[in-house]
Amino acid sequence: MTDPVIRFNNVSKVFARPDGRGDFVAVEKLSFEIAKGEIVAVLGKTGCGKSTMFNIVAGLTEATSGEARVVGHDPFRDFEFFRGKIGIVFQGDRLMPWRTALENVLLGLQILDAPAVQAEATARAWMTRLGLAGHEHDYPHALSGGMRQRVSIARAFAVDPEILLCDEPFSALDEMTARDLRAEFVRLVRQSHKTAVFITHQLNEAMEIGDRVMVFHRPARIAYETRLTDADEAHCARAREEIMKVLGAEPAPARDA
Amino acid sequence: MIAWRTTRVLQASVGLVALAAGWQVLAMIFPPFLFPPVTEIITRTIEILITGSLLYDVLVTALRIFAGLLGAFILGGILAMILGRSKSAENILAPVLIFFQGIPALSWVVFAIIWFHGTEFRIFFIMVLTTLPAFTFQIIDAFRSMSKDLYEMTMSFRPSRLTLLRFLIVPTIVPGILTAWKVNLGSAARVVVVAELVGATGGVGYQLLRQQQLFDMAGAMAWTLQLVLFVLVVQQTINAIEAWVLRYRPVSERAM
């Protein structure tokens, strides 16, 4: 068996409350493993710590205790090692308003010092693949929400990362656009055999995307987990029922959380 | 687009024409040594612009303004970086800068005369010290307005410090820096005259002092207009740069 691409071992993340009234536990002794090429959907209610877990994997925040490893390295401390290895699609498109659509797709390649001509060809190819041909020189404000999110997906894929992290990337879009983009996204991830972590708070989205679904309780810990690869309809129906039960049974977050 | 620009220019001219008309009315009531006619002021203004030795004084003042602003900008940028990186540095330095901000330009002139000998260095010192706090605070504000979302997105590609500066920090702070230059330019133009009034042997301030000694109101107005014209030209240049740099910003049809 190969080493897992992402491994959390008793990882906790504690934040100091801004008002100075003690600490706030966002992630508590979280342990899981994600294998190479696996697409894992992480499901949980708002405020359950999914995004904190996401930020730890992305190396944007450091775990307070426990061991978080991505490709065997600490994603926060081994900053240089992860150059070009992780692609992120955020909840908002996070496009630089002063850059055109093409320049936004080019950003990661430019940071990674890719040769200019090759980088532009790659960026253009990804834009075409995501239906953005003809909009290369448009600024973000001139694009629709769906198109902007396509640009951000192209930006993540353009650097050809080993791991894709997606934090509710379609939650701000209308249902029709989200459905089309979701299908396209899954197709692209499967075609490129990438490992992907997909955070969502929508059950249908998690079931549609994930090879495996992990349901988080607050503070982030796994309350339920199921594998959906080659699962039959009966298994999916049972999983759906279980997930709904687990999510329904979760206590409401504290008011000051 | 052209019609909109013409309307804007015409509207901007209305106030200035009214001001000139009001002055002309006063010129017809009072003696010329108090309110010289508008035509005489314009003639004297043009005379300065086409007479090499007089234009030299205007250029000397312009150079002093630029040197002072550039010095304050570089020093302010360094201070802003120090303040931005350390909360302790901010706690120590911010009150000093606020204290400096409260010192009138005339006091800096007096200090400079007591402390230093060279005229040019005195003026440079005054210019830098009077505009430094504003530059520092404006640069640090521009830096702090940087979007956390864009910062995290950029950091996800693991950029070097230089790359981060190039792709995120500079484009983020440029609008704030341009605004800082526009604001400080007006302030610097006022301060430079005060600095030149005391001890300088050339420049617009020196010439204004001469006109006062000669009781020449038309000359005083003509030299004042040189400075006003200079500020207008530089402001328009910065506006043009700003419009080009910020060309990506959407403009609402209902925008004021």
Calculate Rg over the CA atoms of chain B.
Answer: 22
The reported pLDDT for the residue numbered A256 is: 43
A23: β partners: A16
pLDDT in tens, A43-82: 888 778 888 898 999 998 999 999 999 999 999 999 889 9
- What are the φ/ψ torsions at residue A139 (nearest 5 degrees)? -80, 155
Tokens standing for A218?
A: 């607050």
Residue B228 domain boundaries: 37-245
Q: Are strands A163-167 and A86-89 parallel, antiparallel or unpaired?
A: parallel
Share of chain A above pLDDT 90, in %: 44
pLDDT at B154: 94
Mean pLDDT of A6-11: 92
The answer as to whether B194 is a domain residue is: yes
Q: What CATH number does the domain containing B208 carry?
A: 1.10.3720.10
Q: What is the mean pLDDT of residues A5-12?
A: 92
pLDDT, tens digit (0-9, with 9 covering 90-100), for A141-157: 999 988 999 999 999 99
Asked whether residue B255 is domain-assigned, the answer is no
Q: Is A121 an 8 Å CB contact of chain B?
A: no
Smallest CA-to-CA distance from B248 within A96, A148, A146 is with A96
A45: helix, coil or strand? coil
A10-14's contacts with Cβ under 8 Å and 24+ in sequence apart are: A10/A65, A10/A66, A10/A67, A11/A53, A11/A56, A11/A63, A11/A65, A11/A66, A11/A67, A11/A68, A12/A63, A12/A64, A12/A65, A12/A66, A13/A49, A13/A52, A13/A53, A13/A56, A13/A61, A13/A63, A13/A64, A13/A220, A14/A64
Interface test with A, best of B158, B245, B253 (most A CBs within 10 A): B158
Whether B1 has a pLDDT exceeding 70, the answer reads: no
A141 lies within 8 A of chain B by CB: yes
Do B157 and A107 count as a contact with CB atoms less than 8 A apart? yes
CB < 8 Å to A100, chain B = 248
CA distance A148 to chain B (A): 14
A107 touches chain B (CB under 8 A): yes
Positive or negative CA dihedral for A72, A73, A75, A79? negative
Hey, are the CB atoms on A141 and B249 less than 8 Å from each other? yes
Query: What pLDDT is attached to residue B4?
Result: 74
| Residue A57 with chain B: CB contacts under 8 Å | none
Token look-up 């790359």 returns B163
Look at residues B55, B53, B74 and name the one whose alpha carbon lies nearest to residue B127: B74
Residue range B173-198: average pLDDT? 88
Condensed to tens digits (0 to 9), the pLDDT of residues A231-240 reads 777 888 888 8
Q: Is residue B207 part of a domain?
A: yes
Tell me whether residue B84 is in a domain.
Answer: yes
Search chain B and give the residue with CA nearest A98.
B248
pLDDT digits (tens, 9 = 90+) for A173-226: 778 878 888 888 888 888 888 899 999 888 888 888 888 999 888 777 787 888
> Residue A60 is nearest to which of B152, B246, B249, comparing CB atoms?
B152
Rounded to two decimals, what is the model's pTM?
0.80
Residue with the larger pLDDT of the pair A103 and B256: A103
State yes or no: pLDDT of B185 exceeds 60. yes
> Do A236 and A66 form a contact (C-beta atoms < 8 A)?
no
- DSSP-assigned letters across all residues of B39-91: HHHHHHHHHHHH-HHHHHHHHHHHHHHHHHHHHHHHHHHHHHHHHHH-HHHHH
Please say if the pLDDT value at position A20 is more than 90: no
What CA–CA distance (Å, rounded) separates B106 from A109? 54
Cα–Cα distance measured from residue A109 to residue A116, given in angstroms and rounded to the nearest whole number: 9
Task: Give per-residue pLDDT as tens, B3-43.
Answer: 777 887 788 788 889 999 999 999 999 998 899 999 999 99
Residues B211-248: tens digit of each pLDDT: 999 999 999 999 999 999 999 999 999 999 988 988 88
Q: CA-CA distance, B145 to B139, in Å (whole number)?
A: 10
Q: Does residue B34 contact residue B179 with C-beta atoms inside 8 Å?
A: no
Using CA atoms, how far apart are residues B214 and A30, in angstroms rounded to an integer?
A: 85
Q: In what order do the strands lie in the sheet with A39-43?
A: A86-89, A163-167, A195-200, A39-43, A212-217, A221-227
Question: Between chain A and chain B, how many beta carbons pairs sit less than 8 Å apart?
Answer: 55
Q: Which residues of A touch B159 (CB under 8 A)?
A: 111
Please answer yes or no on whether A111 and B171 come within 8 Å at the CB atom: no
Hey, are the CB atoms on A111 and B158 less than 8 Å from each other?
A: yes
Which residues on chain B are in Cβ contact (under 8 Å) with A106? Answer: none
Cα nearest neighbour of B171 on chain A:
A98
> What pLDDT score was predicted for residue A257?
37
Instruction: Please give the mean pLDDT across all residues of chain A.
Output: 87
Q: Is B159 on the interface with A (CB under 8 A)?
A: yes
Q: What distance in Å separates the CA atoms of residue B193 and residue B57, rounded to the nearest whole number? A: 12
Q: Cα(B90)–Cα(A79) distance, rounded to whole angstroms?
A: 28
Sheet containing strand A23-34, strands side by side: A23-34, A6-16, A65-70
DSSP for A82-132, written as a single string: GTTTEEEE-SS----TTS-HHHHHHHHHHHTT--HHHHHHHHHHHHHHTT-
Residues in chain B with CB shorter than 8 Å from the CB of A60 are 152, 155-156
Under 8 Å CB-to-CB from A50, ≥6 apart: which residues?
A: A42, A44, A167, A199, A201, A216, A220
In whole numbers, what is the pLDDT of chain B averaged over residues?
A: 89
% pLDDT > 70, chain A = 96
Which residues have CB under 8 Å from A208's CB, separation 6+? A182, A186
Q: Is A37 helix (H, G, I), strand (E, B) or coil?
A: coil
A60/B167 CB distance under 8 A? no
**pLDDT of residue A243 exceeding 90:** no
Q: A102: Cβ–Cβ under 8 A, 6 or more apart, which residues? A: A120, A123, A124, A127, A136, A137
Q: Is B191 part of a structural domain of the chain? A: yes
**Six-digit token string for B200:** 């300088």
Apex CA B218: angle with CA B212 and CA B219, to 5°? 55
**CB contact B163 to A (< 8 Å):** yes
Work out the pLDDT band at B168, boundaries 50, 70, 90.
very high
CA distance A160 to B113: 64
Contact B163 A111 (CB under 8 A): yes
Residue B19 maps to a domain: no
Contact between A165 and A75 (Cβ < 8 Å): no
- Average pLDDT of the segment spanning B173-190: 90
Domain count for chain B, please give it.
1
B15 occurs within a structural domain: no
Closest of A239, A214, A245 to residue A49, by C-alpha: A214
What are the structure tokens assigned to A50, written together? 């999914």
Q: Which of A203, A211, A200, A191 is nearest to A130 (CA)?
A: A191
In this structure, is residue B25 part of a structural domain?
Answer: no
